[in-house]
Structure 1
């Protein structure tokens, strides 16, 4: 069986950090595959897809090109979770299980929950005019509670993220294409017909956790809330995420 790990807006495979290694250790008999969306990471020179559905189609074809056959299990964060939902809606037969982390989906969640309004000015200014260092510093601050509380933890992570951004720079045009795709995507009314687990950080400073709470209630699926983690749950508490995935599978 293959686990496919999907990151969010402006993020790439390397942003999984140590989580991917820890997840592999917890699933020694399974393949763990991290994918970059066009415009990010190793694909930073490519044009980002204009829709979430196109991102899902890219993932499908990329996995087949690499020789991984379905069914797949998806573990996905934020925009990656939208891609997972689009994939599950269009091709449920290819997936055996989906884990959504800190996602938000129109029309089920209002825009002011999907992106907290207090972040609008800083995000807009930094994306348009800020340096790579300022952008990565802002992203780390609003996505990770652990890093915000512990500068000893934050400093090496920030250096890594800045190096990624300098080594594989994402263009402003691709940032806007990905953001527009996320804002325009409309999720299905009904839960995709396969096992689905939702995880969310109660201290998410980017996306209101009410998005996950409301969606889990509407779709009648399992939801686990982390009381102290933020948007980047795998960064804030990798062990907890792995435990919830294992517990859900055991159940």
Structure 2
């Protein structure tokens, strides 16, 4: 039995994995899946978001202790969550069996204008001053090529139930921009959406080249790869897990 730790990104909570979670559980019925909300998001929306990635690592580890989980863990993480996964792997490599990183970007390997695509800046600024529905419409437009309206309706309800404050959005953005990474000594796989409007796909490609790790690219997907094509992600996971044994 494997234990998976799933980490989402900026402004997202565990429920934003959507139907990918039941699909992953169906693919690995004997495995345990742990989803973690960041302070400021989801169940923890009333808490102050962490401004340093190292503190997010502490949050992950304490959450796992509280849930009586022991590693080594298989970590599946997207965007900001993938930064925290890298920091965790750097600090505590023995706790991690493998990291699968989706559409991440890391300083100093990727320039700031790739880590946050300049054309997305006007939308992000609008997001900070939009109402609940407006925020989620912008996020869906930035992160998905398929833009399923059923997901949008769910996201609006999530945000109404557990709103993420403007201050916490800015704190999470700061954490992402400030973090500086090193290559961790754990098995790594990079997954990337070629039509990502938020983070340049060049970020994953650069990391793959510099770190000498595999990178698989979905030619049609955006930033939220599990939303745009969860089955493709599962297929790549299965191929990668086979290569680990």
State how many pairs are aligned: 242
Corresponding residue of 1:198: 190
Distance of 1:177 and 1:161 partners within structure 2: 21
Distance of 1:125 and 1:204 partners within structure 2: 19
Corresponding residue of 1:143: 143
3-state secondary structure, aligned to 2:146: helix
Q: What does residue range 160-199 of structure 1 map to in structure 2 within 5 Å?
A: 160-188=154-182, 191-199=183-191
Within the alignment, does 1:5 sit opposite 2:1 as a pair? no
Q: CA RMSD in A?
A: 0.7
Distance of 1:185 and 1:5 partners within structure 2: 20
Distance of 1:50 and 1:123 partners within structure 2: 18
Within the alignment, does 1:46 sit opposite 2:47 as a pair? yes
Corresponding residue of 1:151: none
TM-score, structure 1 as length reference: 0.95
3-state secondary structure, aligned to 1:98: strand
* 1:20-58 deviation per Cα after TM superposition (whole angstroms, max 9, x unaligned): 110111111110111101110000011111111101110
Structure 1 runs, 4 residues or longer, greater than 2 Å off = none
Corresponding residue of 1:126: 127
Corresponding residue of 1:113: 114
3-state secondary structure, aligned to 1:5: strand
3-state secondary structure, aligned to 1:198: strand
Corresponding residue of 2:199: 207
Give ranges in structure 2 of 5+ residues lacking alignment. Answer: none
Deviation at 1:177, TM superposition (A): 0.7
* 1:41-77 deviation per Cα after TM superposition (whole angstroms, max 9, x unaligned): 0000111111111011100110111111111110000
